[in-house]
Amino acid sequence: MNGSKSLGIALASVLLGGGALALAGFALASDTPHQAALNCVRTSATACSLQLSTYPDSLEGAHGKTGGAHPTWVTYANDNLVVPENTTINVTIHQYDGGGSLNDPFFDQVMGTIGGTMVYNGKTVSHVDPNNIGHTFTLRNIPGNGKTLFVSVPLPADYRNPTITIGTGQYPKPNIIKFSFKTGGPGTYEWNCEYPCGDARVSSGFGYAMSSFGYMSGTLTVK
């Protein structure tokens, strides 16, 4: 299957599957103030490095040591990502959270990265067990912005020992996921998690943390 056809199928699946719920949540969260920008760090004229983390609570990251308004909510460390245009973005994610089964196993695949792969704890893979997912990092166009960018990377659940202390939180030794993708010209995109890690009583797990900026959704600005 050629790349353009694969991308078309991927985007359609996002909109018609579990991603539709996440997009609805994104719209609900659009009035929430962003966190301070997390800027990609230049490593060469054509590449930069972006460091992210996912946590089972909000006691670490941009929410502050007390966890902010929702200390028990799962969270990414930052929701406001800024990267350069026409650049290779080398992403490292430290994944500290447990998980379970995806609503849509489509998201167990690595999509849109350079080579269609990621490095998971030192091993290069193109997909993971859909029943052992902690989160995903799924990046897509904002409808109507006229831009095309789609990246989706599954982040396997983490049950590793020993427990370590970061700030005021207690977490397992993280799974480390690395991947790269390329940006084009300036634009703003949205990203979210496609594992239903919010309260299961609300929108089948896509409510609360899943539909709030600063937790499981945010933007990536290319400039």
Could you report the per-residue pLDDT of 127-158, keeping only the tens digit for each?
999 999 999 999 998 877 777 899 999 999 99
Rounded mean pLDDT of 51-64?
90
Q: Look at residue 119 and tell me whether its pLDDT is greater than 60.
A: yes
pTM of the predicted model as reported, rounded to 2 decimal places: 0.83
**What percent of the chain clears pLDDT 90, i.e. is strictly above it?**
55
Domain count, the chain: 1
Query: Within 13 A of 163's CA, how many CA atoms are on the CB side?
Result: 8
* Residue pair 157/108 in contact by the 8 Å Cβ criterion: no
Measured between alpha carbons, how far apart are the two ends of the chain, in Å? 32
CATH at 185:
2.60.40.420
**71: which 2 tokens?**
């200390």
Rounded mean pLDDT of 38-50?
97
pLDDT band, residue 26 (cuts 50/70/90): very low
Rounded mean pLDDT of 43-59?
95
DSSP codes joined into one string, the chain = --HHHHHHHHHHHHHHSHHHHHHHHHHHTTTSPPPSPEEPEESSSSEEEEEEEEESSSSSSTT-TT-TT-TTS-EES-SEEEE-SS-EEEEEEEE----B--SSGGGGB-BSSGGG-EEETTEEESB--TTSEEEEEEEEEPTTS-----EEEEEE----SSEEEETTEEEEPPEEEEEEEE--SSEEEEEE--S--S-TTSGGGTSGGGGSBTTTEEEEEE-
Q: How far apart are CA 162 and CA 118, in angstroms?
A: 25
Q: pLDDT value at position 213?
A: 79
203 closest CA partner among 27, 63, 57: 27
Q: How far apart are CA 99 and CA 97, in angstroms?
A: 7
pLDDT band, residue 205 (cuts 50/70/90): low
State the residue range of the domain holding 70: 3-222
Q: pLDDT value at position 198?
A: 67
